[in-house]
Amino acid sequence: MKIWKRNVIVAAVLVLVCAGIYLNWRYEEGLKTDLVSTLDAEKVMDDAALVMQTEAEALEALAGAENPASPVADQFARLRLTRQESRDSAVELLQETISYAGTGEDLSASTAKLDEIVNHSLAEASIESLIVSKGYSDCVAYMTDEGITVAVPAGEEGLQPADVALLSDVILSQTDYTLPEIRIIEVN
């Protein structure tokens, strides 16, 4: 009687372990299919999916924000954090696309977009450093294919034409943008 109970318990545990393994296998198969359909190159490479264009709008909102509870420095820090989070998300999507793309157009398009994001990040950091070195307390630069937007804190008198010329000179020296593609926003 004792041996019979033990064998039933062992058989029940074995059936439960096998059922768990089978369910896990079926679940992982479903994930692989979903991941491949999710990483369709057209969906990933769509600019709307990369959410990179909203940062210029955030810079414009920063310029119009008059929130005495949060100092300008905090606003710049939040903007940088938002920009970095969106870039990290886009880079992660592109890296997943590259890892599943194999070879061909998808791989080269994803690699080119990733290179563009990295180059924009480096240029933005360079521009921000140069502008701060020119005597401004802080700034945030955001580059897109259409142009560049730079937000700087306005002094008591606001940005003067000499300030705009200095900022434009820094931007023109570090990028290939033309003057009409440059937007300078003063933050109060």
Statement to judge: residues 87 and 122 lie in one domain: yes
Statement to judge: residues 108 and 124 lie in one domain: yes
pTM, rounded to two decimals: 0.59
Per-residue confidence (pLDDT) for residue 112, from 0 to 100: 83
Task: Dump pLDDT digits (tens) for 11-41.
Answer: 888 888 878 888 777 766 655 544 445 444 4
Statement to judge: residues 10 and 72 lie in one domain: no
Task: CATH number of the domain at 93, please.
Answer: 1.10.287.4300
Per-residue confidence (pLDDT) for residue 56, from 0 to 100: 56
Which residues constitute the domain of residue 178?
41-187
The pLDDT of 115-130, averaged and rounded, is: 87
Number of domains in the chain: 2
Per-residue confidence (pLDDT) for residue 41, from 0 to 100: 47
Query: How would residue 55 be classed by pLDDT, with cut points 50, 70 and 90?
Result: low
CB-CB contact of 183 with 139 (8 Å): no
**Range 92-131 burial, b when 16+ CB lie within 10 A, else e:** ebbeebbebbeeeebbebbeebbeebeebeebbeebbebb
Higher pLDDT, 31 or 84: 84
A 10 A CB-CB count for 28 gives 10
